Amino acid sequence: MNDKIAVVTGAGGTLCSSMAIDLAKQGYKVALLGRTLSKLKKVSDEIKANNGIALCVPADVSDEVSVKKARDIIENQLGTCTVLINGAGGNQNDALPNIAAFDERELNDEEGVKGFFNLSMDVFQNVIDINTMGTVIPCFVFGKSMAKNKKGNIINFASMTSYRPITKVAAYAMAKSGVVSFTQWLAAYLAPAKIRVNAIAPGFFLNDRSRMLMLDEVGSPTERAQNILGHTPMGRFGEAQELIGCMNWLIDEKNAGFVTGITIPVDGGFLSCPGV
């Protein structure tokens, strides 16, 4: 058990908290990384209540110094990371237009119309940083320790937007497309170090932020949610637990030891359905 040490970024979120809890049940010592300590502590408390080992480490994954400090704490208290789950990321409202195609009114900053030309480029850049560099930097920092030990497993978080841009999420789609490319590149690069690198691309799962976009005040699907569900053959949103099997297969050296550089959609069939 001494070499079963998992680092989970974005561990306070809906999806990665479930992954962290499952890893702890398997006997992993789990380091929980995120920007909000209160969210991490909630996950840690659940793990410890079931006799697991968890360490909360506040960190900004898009900042190299912050991640290096987190690594030093983790290696001092738990040991060297053997499994890295890069789940930190997300979007911001100021990087989202409220229209799906160009409208002349956005050029005049007309009230109620927010198009591409009304967005904050600083926020646009921040979305790219948290999703791309927020994946690259933990791989750079924790991957170096893995390479020294000649073993390790990295799982990055891609998205449906990695395959095709979805309206209103340009920055996020650009970033998540980059995650897939980086996953392939890093898998080839780290193969001699016996480190496998793959990615999971969740379909549409509800979390605290998306719930406000997908459900109205009475809990019914919004127009955008209905559109998504109409393109999802299984006709529902995913549940966090439905990512666990994919994660466990990818980190299993016996059953997936020859698997690296791939991105696996867990999407209820979304990518298979063009909507016509």
Amino acid (1-letter code) at residue 102? F
Does residue 264 fall inside a structural domain? yes
DSSP letter (8 states) at residue 267: S
- The answer to whether position 104 is within a domain reads no
> For residue range 236-246, what is the model confidence (pLDDT) as tens digits?
999 999 999 99
pLDDT at 1: 47
Instruction: Give me the mean pLDDT over the 146-153 stretch.
Output: 97
Q: How does residue 222 score in pLDDT terms, banded at 50, 70 and 90?
A: confident
For residue 101, is it within any domain?
Answer: no
Q: Which CATH number characterizes residue 79's domain?
A: 3.40.50.720
The answer as to whether 41 is a domain residue is yes
Per the domain annotation, does 34 fall within a domain? yes
Please calculate the CA angle 99-103-105 and round it to the nearest 5 degrees: 110
pTM surpassing 0.85?
A: yes
* Alpha-carbon Rg for the chain in angstroms: 19
DSSP 33: E
169 and 227 assigned to the same domain: no
Task: Tell which wins on pLDDT, 142 or 2.
Answer: 142
Q: Is the same domain home to 141 and 52?
A: yes
Number of domains in the chain: 2
Instruction: Confirm whether 224 is domain-assigned.
Output: yes
Per-residue pLDDT, 207: 76
Domain co-membership, 30 together with 69: yes
Same structural domain, 167 and 72: yes
How far is it, in rounded angstroms, from Cα 15 to Cα 155? 13
Domain identity same for 183 and 199: yes
> In 3D, which of 241, 242, 238, 240 has the Cα closest to residue 214?
238
The distance of Cα 61 from the centroid of its chain, to the nearest Å, equals 12
Same domain, 161 and 226: no
Structure confidence by residue, pLDDT tens digits, 155-214? 999 999 999 999 999 999 999 999 999 999 999 999 999 999 999 999 999 877 776 677
pLDDT in tens, 60-100: 999 999 999 999 999 999 999 999 999 999 999 899 999 99
Question: Burial, 149: exposed, middle or buried (Cβ in 10 Å; 0-12, 13-18, 19+)?
Answer: middle
Q: Are residues 254 and 182 in the same domain?
A: yes
Report H helices in the chain: 14-25, 37-49, 64-77, 121-128, 134-149, 170-190, 208-214, 223-230, 244-250, 253-256
Question: pLDDT per residue over 95-132, tens digit each?
Answer: 999 999 999 999 999 999 999 999 999 999 999 999 99
Task: Return the closest-CA partner of residue 199 out of 186, 215, 213.
Answer: 186
* Token pair of 123 as six digits: 């926020």
| pLDDT(44) > 70 | yes
* CA dist list (Å): 51 to 39, 47, 160, 229: 19, 7, 36, 39
Q: Is 220's pLDDT higher than 90?
A: no
167 falls within a domain: yes
Q: Count the Cβ atoms, other than its own, within 10 Å of residue 208.
A: 9
Average pLDDT over residues 219-242: 89
Quote the percentage of the chain above a pLDDT of 90. Answer: 87
HEC letters along 49-94: HCCCEEEEEECCCCCHHHHHHHHHHHHHHCCCCCEEEECCCCCCHH
Q: In degrees to the nearest 10, what's the CA dihedral of 137, 139, 142, 146?
A: -160
**Mean pLDDT, residues 122-150 taken together:** 97
Which residues have a catalytic role annotated? 172
What sign does the dihedral 23-17-151-179 (CA atoms) show? positive
Where in the sequence is the domain holding 12, given as residue range(s)?
Answer: 5-94+124-203+240-269
Q: Are 223 and 247 found together in one domain?
A: no
The pLDDT score that the predictor gives to residue 217 is 77
Q: 223 and 246, same structural domain?
A: no
Residues 6+ apart with CB under 8 A from 157: 10, 15, 85, 86, 87, 89, 135, 179, 199, 200, 201, 202
Give phi and psi for 2, each to the nearest 5.
-65, -25
Residue type (1 letter), 90: G
Query: Are residue 89 and residue 218 in the same domain, yes or no?
Result: no
Mean pLDDT, the chain, whole residue set: 94
Q: What is the pLDDT of residue 272?
A: 94
Residues 233 and 249 in one domain: no
Domain presence at residue 77: yes
Q: Looking at the structure, tell me whether residues 78 and 59 fall in a common domain.
A: yes
Length of the chain: 276
